[in-house]
Amino acid sequence: MNFHKILPTSVLSLLFIVCFTHGTNAQILKKLGKRAQKAAERTVERRVERETQEKTDEVLDSILEPGTKRTTADPSLENPLPPGGQNNPGNNSEGRADSQDDRQAIAVYSKFDFVPGDKLLFFDDFSDEFLGDFPSKWNTNAGGEVVSINDNGEKWLELVSGYNIYFIPDVPDLPEDYTIEFDVLGLGLDNKTSSNAILRVDLSDDDKFKEGANFVQAHISFVQYIDKGITMENRINNKREIYSVVKADLREEVLNVPHISIAVNKQRFRLWVNEEKHIDIPRIVPQGTVLTTLKFHMNNFKEGKERLFIKNLKVAEGGIDLRRKLISEGEVSTNGILFDSGSANIQPQSMGIIRQISQVLQEENGMNLLIIGHTDTDGPDDANLSLSQKRAAAVKNALVNIYGIDAARLQTDGKGETQPIADNSTTDGKAQNRRVVFRKN
């Protein structure tokens, strides 16, 4: 059925009039008009199928008042980040109050078992890059540029789709045990997006623009009309040993800025999308430190319509087990507990670390801990001191309220920016300095 023919002209006219009264710029109005037309078409389809005028009115209301629904993937209309989302975890902007959505998101992640590495190898949030430039700590054989999507100043790297096009961050040679994290944003996705539209994460022995004789690939699908799953593939000495499609319905996740977490422990490869682990293959990575290079590749996205961005790439060595280190050494320091920028709101993907700390305290009944927060140097000294104290308190509250640890066993402190362990003039250094320390007390 062609819904362009049955869609009342008056509905589209009303939508466009309302859009223009919001005083947005011409480019955003153009995007909004197209999006409103598609949304209205979907609404009419639902009305024909359901024959319920009341339901149609509700849906049209949600279109006429952007921001009342969180299903859109177009940040020109609203902030695409979900509650407690993946913001720049620094301490240089104003935070927001804790909300019920934040608490619910953290509760969902309470069984999240991803633990990031404790030795930072690479971090890039593009905060030091100029808009329109290709980022200085990456390489490519095509294009791409740093862009700002929202008015909040966040920067993303927009990738370019195409055959044999790679984006390679300047990560040192990958060790045997490491973790990879990043946020991804897709725009323009709909039921016509190709079933082959993918973001591919490559671990390869080739440090340039080829697959290599040895590699592991994870293909993350952005198709909307079917449940495509995640494709895993490897080659060892040019021989494919694994090619599998793992069931994973990511259609809703890829519309809402998912956080991707990957852990490589020798031959084992695990992958999480938000709080859910989808991949856990024990022997897909070649033995030894053969795969030295991380690459990104996107393909089969419609040029000018479907766009893909990544942000907050973090690669860290380790990521195996903080519990043994805390018991044996009496102290662990981690920059894997992330907070919203300028805030003490814990980002949900940090719960894997807090969960491990809770397990130590549950097993070691006589252990008490001092939790110490640290910041980078962005912002005033007194504000950073206060922020570090609040962040330590937030971690304590998570241990108490989510994992049932006795509050009397936990003390908190904050050192602000006074005890840096890395250079605060670099993005990597700032990321290392934003940390939480757990110490036997």
Q: Are 290 and 367 in the same domain?
A: no
Q: Mapping DSSP to helix (H, G, I), strand (E, B) and coil, where does residue 22 land?
A: coil
Residues 144 and 180 in one domain: yes
State which of 278, 293, 317 marks the end of a domain. Answer: 317
Hey, is 185 helix, strand or coil? strand
The CATH number of whichever domain residue 138 belongs to comes to: 2.60.120.200
- Output the domain CATH number for residue 423: 3.30.1330.60
Closest-CA residue to 154 (of 105, 101, 72, 86) = 86
Q: Report yes or no on 346 lying in a domain.
A: yes
Residue 107 exposed, middle or buried by CB count within 10 Å (0-12, 13-18, 19+): middle
Q: How many whole angstroms separate alpha carbon 174 and alpha carbon 267?
A: 13
Distance CA 320, CA 21 (A): 54
How many domains are there within the chain? 3
Both 299 and 171 in a single domain? Answer: yes
Q: Is residue 108 part of a domain?
A: no
Which residues are registered as beta bridge partners of 293? 204
Question: What is the spatial distance between Cα 159 and Cα 299, in angstroms, rounded to a whole number?
Answer: 10
**301 shares its domain with 415:** no
Same domain for 136 and 15? Answer: no
Say if residue 58 is in the same domain as residue 181.
no
Give the range of the structural domain holding residue 258, as residue numbers without chain letter.
Answer: 116-317
Tell me, yes or no, whether 355 and 271 share the same domain.
Answer: no
Task: Give pLDDT tens digits along the chain (441 positions).
Answer: 444 444 444 444 444 444 444 443 444 334 434 444 444 444 444 444 444 344 434 433 433 333 333 333 333 334 444 433 444 466 653 333 345 566 667 777 777 889 888 889 999 999 999 999 999 999 999 999 999 987 777 899 999 999 899 999 999 999 999 999 999 999 999 999 999 999 999 999 999 999 999 999 999 999 999 999 999 999 999 999 999 999 999 999 999 999 999 999 999 999 999 989 999 999 999 998 899 999 999 999 999 899 999 999 999 998 767 888 899 999 999 988 989 888 999 988 888 899 999 999 999 999 999 999 999 999 999 999 999 999 999 999 999 999 999 999 999 999 999 999 999 999 889 999 999 999 998
Tell me how far CA of residue 416 lies from CA of 98, 347, 380, 386, in angstroms: 21, 19, 10, 7
Residues 313 and 326 in one domain: no
C-alpha–C-alpha distance, residues 134 and 126, integer Å: 10
Residue 81 belongs to some domain of the structure: no
Round to whole Å and give the CA distance between 125 and 129.
9
Answering whether pTM is above 0.75, one says: no
Residues 260 and 340 in one domain: no
H-helix or E-strand spanning residue 31: helix 26-50
In a domain, 229, yes or no: yes
